[in-house]
Amino acid sequence: RLIPYSDRPNFPYTFQVVRNNDINAFALVGGFVYVHTGLLKGVENEAELAAVIAHEIAHITSKHSIERLRQIIKDNNFSEIEYGTIINLLEDIAFSLPRGRQQEYEADRKGIEMLHGAGYAPSGMTGFLQKLTKGNTPAMLRTHPEPAKRLDTLNEIINKKGWNPNGGDGLDSDAYKRKIESLLIE
């Protein structure tokens, strides 16, 4: 539902659920998006989940992982890289190396545009970030810009566009819980 509103609607994406209790999602080169079961449990509704996925799709369409990989190769003066080294670099990119502040804001901006275009309530993204401003920021987000600043930027976008923050789909928490129930069975 989100992909048609992305910058690369014809790109082949693959979505996977990872059995891990961390509140996390990440994107890799090649259109791979991984969502932890901890995130599925941690979001309030489908709009919040869609917001996180839209943000990750935006990292892919903006080629942020490729930019980071190129910078690492340049910084380390790699001329020939062994396969194992490439795998290690990709793992670092996905799990530990912080994305640039501008890349996060760009993914937020593109993500909320995608979210709104797909008919989800923009409050899905702001609601998720609002939770992060209340402390207990998941480890994967500690390298991101401060949630409160990201939230302010997103609210500015919503206001400038004249969008109703709660206008759209995905806000029914009970319906969301029923939809994901089977994914959470161990």
Digit-coded pLDDT (tens) for 57-96: 999 999 876 666 666 666 666 655 565 666 566 666 555 5
- The pLDDT assigned to 136 comes to 60
For 112, the domain range is 3-184
Rounded distance, CA 85 to CA 63, Å?
A: 20
- The pLDDT assigned to 51 comes to 99
Counting the structural domains of the chain, the total is 1
Rounded distance, CA 113 to CA 5, Å?
A: 8
Low-confidence ranges of the chain (pLDDT < 50): 97, 140, 142
Measure Cα distances from 134 to 127, 153, 161, 164 in Å. 11, 17, 27, 24
- The pLDDT assigned to 97 comes to 47
Q: How many H helices and E strands in the chain?
A: 8, 3
Rounded distance, CA 139 to CA 143, Å?
A: 8
- The pLDDT assigned to 84 comes to 62
* Three-state SS at 16: strand
- The pLDDT assigned to 141 comes to 52
Residues 6+ apart with CB under 8 A from 60: 8, 11, 13, 27, 29, 31, 33
- The pLDDT assigned to 115 comes to 98
- Tokens representing 174? 């009970």
